[in-house]
Amino acid sequence: MKRAELSPAGRTAWLRLARTRGVGPVTFNELIKRFGTAEDALDALPALAKKGGRSTALVPASRDEAEAEQDWLDRIGARLLCACEPDFPDGLAALDPPPPVITTLGPLDVTDRTACAIVGARSASGVGLRFAGDLARGLGEHGIFVVSGLARGIDGAAHAASVSTGTVAVLAGGLTSIYPPEHRELHAAIAREGLLVSESPPGYSPQARDFPRRNRLISGLSMGVVVVEAAERSGSLITARYAAEQGREVMAVPGSPLDPRAKGTNRLLRDGAALIESADDVLTILSGLRREGVGDSGQDGYEDRMPSSGEDDATDAVRERVAALLSPSPISRDELVRLSGAPASIVTAVLVELELAGRCEIDPGGLVRLAC
């Protein structure tokens, strides 16, 4: 789909669809591909949810709710950006799927300069905190925006060191949901001088499942990701994985083999991440990426797809077969296609119906699990 400005009514419908319970980024993407507009997708929701096995009617987010959110954003000076519109960040628009909407607060324009993410351990060492601050400061002095997740530890140190030169905090909760609470002043400073970004509704308090979604946006906004400290099962490694999948550069700071906070970063280095010892190392890598055009915007995620003839009958035939393959443990859509023996387009259509029915959850990365 070619990106274009939405009408006021179109923006309200887009937001209503994005805020409807059971419509995650993957399902939103597929609905827009199939029906073309948010208005038409909203009209189709109840029937699709019923086909998926929903016992009660699916009620989309109301027009009043969507208009109230837009009014609230206007009052605090925030912006609503829809993924189909020209001013949506190119890096996020190119994700598969893109977040349907983001809200932003702050004066920073992320379209006119290179951005690099700095992430790492919450329980960071003193050396790690100092290095993250020095790295963020050095990048900022050379015109690079620093992106992170406003978490304790490395994230907070990177933000604090780059507020004056340009920092972007991607939040797991809504714009005004401050987490952790001790970052209240840092949150306010970024809103004044940098940029807060969220794909969650205003005031939404984050849950555990929201942090991987936040990590996907951190890497999506950035040309590269530097991991300073990370334990073996750190969320920072999720950000690094997303960066690799999105074609971003993955960089890591080496650490002592005796420190468990270096286990994750050292493994990234063994797996091919670029070794970082100073801001100059990062600047050299980012400069090379700019020359090669890495990180340039490509086709957005909303390419048109007309439903094939007989698709409804085909989904009816395999729906329960696909549902029976689901469990609380995640499984990839590709594996569901293989195990079900059905075409990928039909399995995807079935999963949309099942998510709308509240029977499954589809992660933006393509993993599917039974709904909690």
Express each pLDDT in 82-96 by its tens digit. 999 999 999 999 999
pLDDT computed for residue 4 by the predictor: 87
* Residue listed under structure tokens 């079900």: 340
225 strand-pairing partners: 117, 250
Q: What is the mean pLDDT of residues 178-203?
A: 96
Q: What is the mean pLDDT of residues 269-290?
A: 94
pLDDT computed for residue 314 by the predictor: 81
Set out the domains of the chain in order of their start, with CATH numbers.
8-87 (no CATH), 115-292 (3.40.50.450), 311-370 (1.10.10.10)
pLDDT single digits (tens) 60-71: 999 999 999 999
Cβ neighbours of residue 166 closer than 8 Å, sequence gap 6 or more: 108, 113, 140, 144, 145, 146, 194
Higher pLDDT, 157 or 365: 157
pLDDT computed for residue 297 by the predictor: 47
Residue 6 φ/ψ, nearest 5 degrees: -90, 150
- Give the model's confidence band at 309: pLDDT under 50 very low, under 70 low, under 90 confident, else very high: very low
- Give the model's confidence band at 302: pLDDT under 50 very low, under 70 low, under 90 confident, else very high: low
Token pair belonging to 340: 């079900």
pLDDT computed for residue 310 by the predictor: 57
pLDDT single digits (tens) 207-244: 988 999 999 999 999 999 999 999 998 999 999 999 99
pLDDT computed for residue 203 by the predictor: 87
pLDDT single digits (tens) 123-166: 999 999 999 999 999 999 999 999 999 999 999 999 999 999 99
pLDDT computed for residue 288 by the predictor: 84
Q: What is the mean pLDDT of residues 316-342?
A: 95
Token pair belonging to 268: 């990234």
pLDDT computed for residue 284 by the predictor: 96
> pTM for the whole thing?
0.92
Query: What is the percentage of the chain residues whose pLDDT exceeds 70?
Result: 93
Residue 350 φ/ψ, nearest 5 degrees: -65, -45
pLDDT computed for residue 278 by the predictor: 97
Lowest mean pLDDT among 220-224, 287-291, 318-322: 287-291
Q: What is the mean pLDDT of residues 13-31?
A: 96
